[in-house]
């Protein structure tokens, strides 16, 4: 049995890495699946996000990084996974994640969703918050690996003056 940890990872944060490490302790094997979501406007391409994750997890035994398009449960079924791993930062995440878990269960009843909480020091982090800080000229080195911070600085949109 192995888990799939899906997400947009735009950008990858220490909170994501923490959930990956926690899931590995439970499952031993984890596919980190970068989602192509046409509704979102990512700062980084799908390929760039996959490269970010591969670099951040290169020393972690049991981690595979992949990408997918379409329904997560279809991807999980195709990969032979029976568990979807989702990170919960705060109560505000729960409502959306609960709805998604129940919807996924209705579509595919043999795939379970497991919720993992990151360490307290990462429980407030979100990719959206990281991008806001960067867009306003702030430093994010405490929230993301240095190579991700450098990529964010290069990608930073021009902010109005």
Fold of 3-155: Rossmann fold (3.40.50)
Q: Indicate the pLDDT class of residue 161, thresholds 50, 70 and 90.
A: very low
- Tell me the average pLDDT across 32-41: 89
Among all residues, which ones are annotated catalytic?
A: 16, 40, 89, 127
Dist. CA 150–CA 15, nearest whole Å = 18
Domain ranges of the chain: 3-155
For residue range 103-157, what is the model confidence (pLDDT) as tens digits? 999 998 899 999 999 888 888 889 999 999 999 999 999 999 999 999 999 988 7
The residue written with tokens 């032979």 in the block is 80
Q: Is the peptide bond before 113 cis (omega within 30 degrees of 0)?
A: no
């Amino acid at each position: 049995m192995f888990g799939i940890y899906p997400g947009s990872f735009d950008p990858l944060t220490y909170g994501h890495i923490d959930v990956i490490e926690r899931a590995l302790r439970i499952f031993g094997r984890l596919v980190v699946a970068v989602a192509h979501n046409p509704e979102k406007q990512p700062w980084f391409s799908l390929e760039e996000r996959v490269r970010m994750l591969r670099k951040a997890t290169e020393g972690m035994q049991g981690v595979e990084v992949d990408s997918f398009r379409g329904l997560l449960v279809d991807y999980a079924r195709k990969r032979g996974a029976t568990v979807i791993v989702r990170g919960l930062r705060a109560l505000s995440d729960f409502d959306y994640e609960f709805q998604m878990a129940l919807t996924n269960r209705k579509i595919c009843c043999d795939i379970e969703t497991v919720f993992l909480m990151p360490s307290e020091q990462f429980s407030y982090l979100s990719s959206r918050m990281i991008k806001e800080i960067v867009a306003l000229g702030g430093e994010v080195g405490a929230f993301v690996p240095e190579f991700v911070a450098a990529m964010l600085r290069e990608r930073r949109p021009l902010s109005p003056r």
